[in-house]
Amino acid sequence: MKSKYRSFIYIIGIMMLTVSVLNKIYWIYLCTKYTEFEETKNAYLDLFSKFMANAFFLTIMDIVVSGIAVIIFLESKTTGYLKNVSKWLMILSSILCGWSIFSLM
């Protein structure tokens, strides 16, 4: 990672991780609000436009976003840029990516 773009790429990784975290938080919030799975799923999909309101598509997008964040933080860790922080953010991104992969099963 070139030092010229390092902080910009790192910010992109943080934004991708933030999107994934907010997605999970919103899903957990809806699970506490509704008792039936179909009600929860419909309320979750209502947040998105018709084009994106597909559970499989949203899960794949979450996997891709989390995966890219893992790669960015792994690369930052190996180059020594915010090494400790990058390690923890990489672990968090990996857990969220695994959670999304598991939810496809």
Q: Where are the domains of the chain?
A: 6-104
58-75 tens-digit pLDDT: 889 999 999 999 999 998
pLDDT at 92: 92
Count other Cβ atoms within 10 Å, centred on residue 73.
Answer: 27
Over residues 4-31, the mean pLDDT reads 89
The model carries a pTM of 0.83
Quickly list DSSP for 25-40.
HHHHHHHHH-SSHHHH
Residue 15 pLDDT > 90, yes or no? yes
* Mean pLDDT to the nearest integer, 69-93: 88
Cα 67 to Cα 64: distance, rounded to the nearest angstrom: 5
pLDDT of residue 91: 93
Band (pLDDT 50/70/90 cuts) for residue 6 is: confident
Gyration radius (Cα) of the chain, Å: 16
Question: Does the pLDDT of residue 80 top 90, yes or no?
Answer: no
pLDDT band at residue 105, thresholds of 50, 70 and 90?
low
Q: How far, in Å, CA of 95 to CA of 98, rounded?
A: 5
